[in-house]
Chains A and B, each alone.
Chain A
Amino acid sequence: MLFNSFEFAIFLPIVFLLYWFVFDYAISKCKRQLLWQNLFVVVASYIFYGWWDWRFLILIAITTLLSFLSGIGIEYAPTQRGKKAVMIANIIINLGILGIYKYYDFFATQFARLFGIEADFLLLHLILPVGISFYTFQALSYSIDVYRKQLAPTHDIVAFTAFLSFFPQLVAGPIERATNLLPQFQKKRTFDYATAVDGMRQILWGLFKKIVVADNCATYVDTVFADISNQSGSTLLLAAILFTFQIYGDFSGYSDIAIGTAKLFGIKLMRNFNVPYFSRDIAEFWRRWHISLTTWFRDYVYIPLGGSRPNIPEAIRQKGDKALEARYTKWIAVRNTFVIFLLSGFWHGANWTFVLWGAYHALLFVPLLLLNKNRRYRDTVATITLPDGTIKTKWLPSLKEAGQMLLTFALAVFGWIIFRAQDISQIGEVLSTICSDSLLSIPWLMNRDYYIPTIMAIILLLAVEWRSRNYSHGFGFLNRSNQFVRIVTYLMVLFCIFAFGGHAENFIYFQF
């Protein structure tokens, strides 16, 4: 079921009413009220997912059961070694399922190519289950956290299943941590009017980003990328820029709808995007883009590998050479950075383009790391922190900040060309065309009834996100507006969604 479908528009109110009135209010005196409510979340989530293809519910159920049992296994294993073995077994099985569905055909093809054999008989041609990368990583986080003793293992399989299959974030994240989400299913939720209203606003803003920005951009981008060889450099560059907004509108729009929907059920999900295109360098960009995945790799890969402060081997320490130790530390940090960026790229799909995209971002990140400038911009752009600790936003950035944001944006656009390409050769074709004389030609534009709304929508997106860059989402600033402004805003946004919405497209991140 898609968030931007009418099925979901019916599904959500029904689930909402049953959740609060039947499984909360009506049975509030029942001792097992929480259990029933969680069970209802599970049923609703499975219907939501099964709407796409019910057969893959089995995979979610297997992942759920294995991860739940691994938590108990870790708890009861008598030795530390045993606990570790249980955790590793869970990781291997879950990653094994992911690997078979997502990566097997890719590796089989590479293997066949390497040895010059026919690949066809090696391939499985499996359908990639929607959201498998997301819920697998969520499941892994649970067993790792339990092993690390950051979380007590749960014995409540219903709450655990609700945690792993909670429908708003099941198919495209945010990839929740068990430490954040699981405890919320273990205690009674209470309805909060302000939170629910805020959730509705976030859903509305997410729908705008998806339907008006992303879907309109997609119409142009898909047309251009379907016939690259007949496009001019300027057209391809415009398509790359529009894809930059498409992927942001699509994915952050999904995240906003997911987080907003969760708020309606009294559940707080982590933030996934924080105005990434207003970043002043690529390190800041990665602190603001797909935060749930970036922090997942940081916590479960980067830091365990030593991060930027690895243990210095005894052999080096004994030499007492501080410069050597510093060089070693830097080397490990660079290696780990490459590892997480390459893995992050590969997480997106079984294609060398994603790996190259990861490597490209690693190459941009490493110089900042080596110069110790990767943590320069931890605040939000164009803000002033007053002595009393309150943060005041400025209307406009300084020239320097504007230049930095523009440069970072340009670097991101270049990265999205790599990401969008079907294969490595297509990257070369796109880049060589962009770098040709045809870059100076007038780009092809679609019918003005498409390109004018698209440009207006992008300007509106940037203006609203700039205005609310210190809030949790685009419409966060409406909390402080008067009722008239709010109602006019809602009606205008709804009108824009209707009048300027693109043809419904699937969410890009569903394929990952």
Chain B
Amino acid sequence: MKKFIIRTIIGGAIVLCCAIALDVVITRGLKQIDDFIYEPWTYIQEGNHQHDVVILGNSRAQGHIHPMILDSICGCNSYNLGIEAYHMNMHLLKYDYYLQYNPKPKLIVYQVDLATIHRHPIKRGSNSEQFLPLFYESYWRERFVDLGYNQWDLYCPLYRYFGYHTAIRQGIMEGLGLTHFCINPAYKGFKGWDKIMEDRGVPDDQLKIDMSNRFTEDIKDLVAFENFINKCKSEGINIVLVYSPIYETVEKQLTDRDIFNEYMTNISKQYDIVYLDYTKDVELRSNKIYYSSPGHMNLLGAEVFTTKLAHDIDSIGFLKK
């Protein structure tokens, strides 16, 4: 019995040491990868980036608002903090995390839509591997429990990596210096889509979007949103709320669109902030060639849209003060 227990403990200790070492290698490796999943977080951590404009929102922020165009038209330095497949809670966390390392911007362009104020799971959600290298940071440790991760994820080496085959492979190879991954890198946080919806050949009447009945009735989310606006106002940061275009056939299907628009219009009046609704822009909404999917514009669409947006922001004059 004694022999069995001693050997089991020694074996367990060896496994634990290997797990800790591997965790460090993978985490370090993932932070070195140049792609749109991990690189934006590493960039934020580098710190001291002085951006005049930061763009917040979900995939429709990340893939619709191109910082290069915004910079060239407005003469500013912008960065896209958009995060695909996540809702407002994560948008604000990412922005808050950005402020831990970087000075505050002059202007926030917040892309809002029906999916913005709508809760959905974080743990093992879409692209959730981007959070894996962040678990060593106390900032995230405190918050990840609220986001659905458990104590095992936080304190057990390697546990959080379980099932993420690609992240493990890439992390080991990059961490051991065997290769350098540079796949689909983002440009200043921007990551667009190059597909054209028309090429899919789906008739208009069959196009669908998973954004109906999304406007939350959870008062907590609305309060958090308004608290954020208040905080920005008190810190002298301007906010522009932007509702970027949706392909017209499916935009009409959105059952909550009127409630959402009314809410955003009221917010803009109440807090004296600008709300730009591009869902009514005929050129942007009706040109199928601008879309990669009904809710997402492709690179061409993003270019046209960002140009319009940049001119509108420029004309408001926030960045000239």
Residue numbers of A with Cβ under 8 A of B are 6, 20, 191, 193, 196-197, 200, 447, 449-450, 453, 490-491, 494, 498-504
Contacts and interface: CB of A to CB of B under 8 A. Distances in A.
B93 interface: no
Given A196-B4, A491-B18, A498 B165 contact: no
A449 B166 contact: yes
Given A191-B1, A490-B11, A498-B158, A453 B163 contact: no
B165 A193 contact: no
Contacts of A504: 162-163
B230 to A, nearest CB: 41
A175 to B, nearest CB: 29
B178 to A, nearest CB: 15
B124 interface: yes
B154 to A, nearest CB: 12
A261 to B, nearest CB: 14
Contact of A449 (B8, B161, B165): B165
Given A6-B156, A449-B169, A502 B163 contact: yes
Main secondary structure of the interface of B (DSSP, over half): helix
Main secondary structure of the interface of A (DSSP, over half): helix
B165 A500 contact: yes
Nearest to B159: A6
Interface residues of B, number: 23
Given A6-B156, A491-B18, A499-B168, A193 B3 contact: yes
Contact of B162 (A200, A447, A494, A501): A501
Q: Which of B4, B124, B158, B159 has the most CB of A within 10 A?
A: B4
6 contacts: A6-B152, A191-B1, A449-B165, A449-B166, A498-B22, A498-B162
B15 interface: yes
Interface string B1-25: 1011000100100110011001000
B156 A447 contact: no
A258 to B, nearest CB: 19
Interface of B: 1, 3-4, 8, 11, 14-15, 18-19, 22, 124, 152, 156, 158-159, 161-163, 165-166, 168-169, 172
Nearest to B2: A193
Q: Which of A6, A498, A502 has the most CB of B within 10 A?
A: A498
Contacts of A502: 163
Contacts of B172: 499
A509 B161 CA distance: 27
Contacts of A191: 1, 4
Given A6-B156, A6-B159, A498-B22, 16 more contacts: A6-B152, A20-B1, A191-B1, A191-B4, A196-B4, A200-B8, A447-B165, A447-B166, A449-B169, A490-B11, A491-B15, A500-B165, A501-B162, A502-B163, A503-B124, A503-B162
Given A6-B159, A498-B158, A503-B124, A197 B169 contact: no
A491 B10 CA distance: 13
A312 to B, nearest CB: 57
A6 B158 CA distance: 13
A453 B165 contact: yes
Contacts of A196: 4
A156 to B, nearest CB: 26
A20 B107 CA distance: 66
Contacts of A498: 19, 22, 158, 161-162, 168
Closest 7 A/B residue pairs (Cβ) = A449-B165, A449-B166, A503-B163, A191-B1, A499-B168, A6-B152, A196-B4
A450 B165 contact: yes
A218 to B, nearest CB: 12
